[in-house]
Amino acid sequence: DAGVIQSPRHEVTEMGQEVTLRCKPISGHNSLFWYRQTMMRGLELLIYFNNNVPIDDSGMPEDRFSAKMPNASFSTLKIQPSEPRDSAVYFCASSDPLAASYNEQFFGPGTRLTVL
Amino acid sequence: QKEVEQNSGPLSVPEGAIASLNCTYSDRGSQSFFWYRQYSGKSPELIMFIYSNGDKEDGRFTAQLNKASQYVSLLIRDSQPSDSATYLCAVKNTGNQFYFGTGTSLTVIP
């Protein structure tokens, strides 16, 4: 398996622009997580989906952020409009709760977002 | 109060020594505890998980859990330079939510 795939790997944009991050989970995994990582705040859970349905979006910082999972193999995280404080590494992770009791999450390589 | 707290370090140990990493959590009902390793510029990878009070050993790694004290630790024996990374403690709480600490940076000096 190719693992969790994220694109783009790097994104540089200007304040006010729309940014869309993409994620393809591991085939067969039915849970998908979006995280944001910064030096100051560490790894923060933004939202997670189970069977394509958003279960907990309490970590989404504000209305500028939205996430969708139209099918089991694709998810997007959109920021509109982007701000410099959104600069971070965004990780997508997937898991299969039925495969192991400890519910290991497999992380993608991340998208490094810089908002100028 | 943060859900999961770790000393940010940096922690430096000589090669061959024992590295001890610590983590505390706030939700007393939490049941699953994880240690992830993250190399610079890479994504986190799971190295240990523990559910029950006590010790769990896997090779050079030992995870220790004390639910009464809400404390979980990771010991790395015979530390190697390749162990140099940031170690993230993660907790799955009663709400089935994952919380990560900010990580402890470990450097193993040859």
Dump pLDDT digits (tens) for B19-56. Answer: 999 999 998 888 899 999 999 999 999 999 998 999 99
What integer pLDDT is reported at residue B57 of this predicted model? 96
Higher-pLDDT residue of B39, B92: B39
pLDDT in tens, A61-104: 889 999 999 999 999 999 999 999 999 999 999 988 776 656 78
CA-CA distance, A6 to A11, in Å (whole number)?
Answer: 12
What integer pLDDT is reported at residue A101 of this predicted model? 55
Residues 6+ apart with CB under 8 A from A5: A23, A24, A108
What integer pLDDT is reported at residue B97 of this predicted model? 77
Neighbours of B16 (CB within 10 A): 11
What integer pLDDT is reported at residue A99 of this predicted model? 66
User: Which chain A positions have a beta carbon within 8 Å of B42's beta carbon?
Assistant: 109
Q: Give the chain B residue whose CA is nearest to the CA of A109.
A: B43
A91 by Cβ neighbours in 10 Å (0-12 / 13-18 / 19+) ranks as buried
What integer pLDDT is reported at residue A42 of this predicted model? 87
* Among B34, B43, B95, beta carbon nearest to A109: B43
User: Which chain A positions have a beta carbon within 8 Å of B58's beta carbon?
Assistant: none
* Among A42, A105, A107, beta carbon nearest to B101: A42
Are A33 and B97 within 8 A, CB to CB? no
CA-CA distance, A76 to B82, in Å (whole number)?
Answer: 34
Size of interface A-B (CB pairs under 8 A): 40
**Alpha carbon B59 to chain centroid distance?**
15
Are B51 and A103 within 8 A, CB to CB? no
What integer pLDDT is reported at residue A102 of this predicted model? 63
CA-CA distance, B110 to B107, in Å (whole number)?
Answer: 10
Average pLDDT of chain A is: 92
Higher-pLDDT residue of B2, A115: A115
